[in-house]
Structure 1
Amino acid sequence: MVVIHRAYGFRFVIYTADHEPAHIHITGAGQAKVNLAGPDGKPEAVYFIGIKQSDQRRLMADVIKRSDAFLQEWERIHGQSN
């Protein structure tokens, strides 16, 4: 597990033994999974569990802002995504 970012009391992580599509996990007061490139090419939430909606919006805004850097980290760890 590689922590790639911390914000709002949450850790944004990429697991080294994970699968495609390129995605991150967010852990803290709850958990989430976000694909870094959804069907429209933008980050897409897969799920949020136990995270307030206001935090969900804030976390997704942060993922969108940092999506290029997060995708570069995914590719550094796992290789080029399809």
Structure 2
Amino acid sequence: MVTVFRSGGMRVIIFIDDHEPAHVHVFGDGHAKINLVPEPVLVWAEGMTRGELRKAMKIVVEQRNSLLTRWRTIHG
């Protein structure tokens, strides 16, 4: 597991042994999985409020290109 970005009390993680499609896991008080391709989309979330989900999605949308670059660096 690699923390690739931190913002506003949230950590964006890429698991080293994870699978396609390219996605990240965002941890705050809960946990969300967000696909990066073709565009960021929420796959599922547990224990996050609507506000936290909006914040997580905003982070991923704004950082999508750098997160996708890190995904490709880690997974090839």
SS in 2 for 1:12: strand
Segments ≥4 residues shifted beyond 6 Å:
none
Counterpart in the other structure of 1:34: 34
Amino acid at match of 1:12: V
Output the CA distance in 2 between the equivalents of 1:44 and 1:58. 13
> Unpaired segments of 5 or more residues in structure 1?
none
RMSD: 0.8
Equivalent runs, 1:35-50 vs 2, <5 Å: 35-37=35-37, 41-50=38-47
Per the normalisation by structure 2, the TM-score is 0.94
Q: The residue matched to 2:16 in structure 1 has which SS?
A: coil
Identity of aligned pairs, percent? Answer: 39
Matching residue of 1:65: 62
What corresponds to 2:13 in structure 1? 13
Contiguous gaps of at least 5 residues in structure 2 = none
CA distance in 2, matches of 1:59, 1:28: 9
